Amino acid sequence: MSRGRDKRLCWWGRMRSTLRRIWPQCDIQFNGNSLTATGDVIDLNNPSNSRAKYIGDATIARWKVRQNSLLARQVSDRQQEYILFSIFQEFGILEKPLFWKKTSASINAVHALVRTFAGVEDFARVNAHYMRRKFLLGLANARFSRCCLACFAKNGKRVLDSEWHALFDCPSHAAARGRFTLATKFSRDSNTESTVADLCKIVTYSKHCASRLGELAKFLLNIRMTRRRDHRHLTSNGPNGRVRLLRRLIWDCWRNALSPEH
Ligand SMILES: [Zn+2]
């Protein structure tokens, strides 16, 4: 068996190659009966410290690969990664994780924070109300499939259902927004409709302070709970449920058919 093949099959050889992928200057080998390490990253007297450092460095290396691959693509607001893509465009390649500070909030709130910025929460800009279409067939129509249902049901406004709309504009979350503003003193300078750039501003404002980040996480958890309740309500059989939405849909289609620019 050749030396190269031997190296690939042996756990020791594989471990050295894996180590050098993250720490190119480092090597570890037997010298007689003793183990020696080159480079200054491995401390043979403290293996758990070296292991923690390896896990940290490997995570950062993977994070940089992810950022570079995302920046090399064109990402639209219909894709989950759009928020991360916009943040990388604004800040450039990040050396640390996006939220590296320990957050003062419950585990559920931190979960909501991470999922929202990863773009995997339930927002119609990505999922187009797919799971709610069986309750209301009109939602499959491209005119309504990405609308904020709460705004549409309340005042017939068709607004893109996005994370930034929920955080800064949607009237359904006015109370939670008020509590967040009071606790963090964060304020948007403009009264115009929000964009994804406002999410970048809120990240800059919160990410260095554990309590602000905690308040943001609680706000996002509150948004998640309110939206779940609203969606349940609007797709139910009650008088203010799907019938109300259906009336809005029909009225909007009829008005659109009559409008001169149609
Ligand atoms: Zn809304």
| Cα dihedral: 163, 158, 230, 213 (round 10) | 20
Indicate whether 226 pLDDT > 90.
yes
* Contacting residues for 103 by C-beta, under 8 A, at least 6 apart: 109, 110, 113, 210, 213, 214, 217
How far is ligand 1, taken at its centre, from the CA of residue 158, in Å? Answer: 9
Comparing 148 with 241, the larger pLDDT belongs to 148
What is the predicted pLDDT for the residue at 6? 62
How far is ligand 1, taken at its centre, from the CA of residue 193, in Å? Answer: 11
What is the predicted pLDDT for the residue at 87? 94
Output phi, psi for 114, to 5 deg. -65, -45
- The model's confidence at residue 197, banded by pLDDT at 50, 70 and 90, is very high
pTM listed for this prediction: 0.84
Hey, is 29 helix, strand or coil?
Answer: strand
How far is ligand 1, taken at its centre, from the CA of residue 70, in Å? Answer: 28
How far is ligand 1, taken at its centre, from the CA of residue 161, in Å? Answer: 7
What is the predicted pLDDT for the residue at 260? 62
* Contacting residues for 88 by C-beta, under 8 A, at least 6 apart: 67, 70, 71, 94
What is the predicted pLDDT for the residue at 3? 60
What is the predicted pLDDT for the residue at 123? 96
- Quick one: average pLDDT of 86-108? 90
How far is ligand 1, taken at its centre, from the CA of residue 5, in Å? Answer: 60
Distance CA 238, CA 67 (A): 46
How far is ligand 1, taken at its centre, from the CA of residue 64, in Å? Answer: 34
Q: Which residues on adjacent β-strands are paired with residue 30?
A: 35
How far is ligand 1, taken at its centre, from the CA of residue 251, in Å? Answer: 19
Q: What's the mean per-residue pLDDT of the chain?
A: 89
Query: What digits encode the pLDDT tens for the residues 152-191?
Result: 998 889 999 999 999 999 999 999 999 999 999 998 877 8
* Integer CA distances (angstroms), 152 to 2, 83, 141, in order: 69, 24, 14
What is the predicted pLDDT for the residue at 177? 95
Indicate whether 48 pLDDT > 80.
yes
Which tokens hold the place of 229?
């309740």
Which tokens hold the place of 156?
């017939």
How far is ligand 1, taken at its centre, from the CA of residue 66, in Å? Answer: 31
Indicate whether 17 pLDDT > 60.
yes
Indicate whether 1 pLDDT > 50.
no
- Quick one: average pLDDT of 47-60? 89
- Quick one: average pLDDT of 62-86? 94
* Contacting residues for 22 by C-beta, under 8 A, at least 6 apart: 54, 57, 58, 61
What is the predicted pLDDT for the residue at 221? 97
What is the predicted pLDDT for the residue at 147? 94
Indicate whether 8 pLDDT > 80.
no
What is the predicted pLDDT for the residue at 26? 85
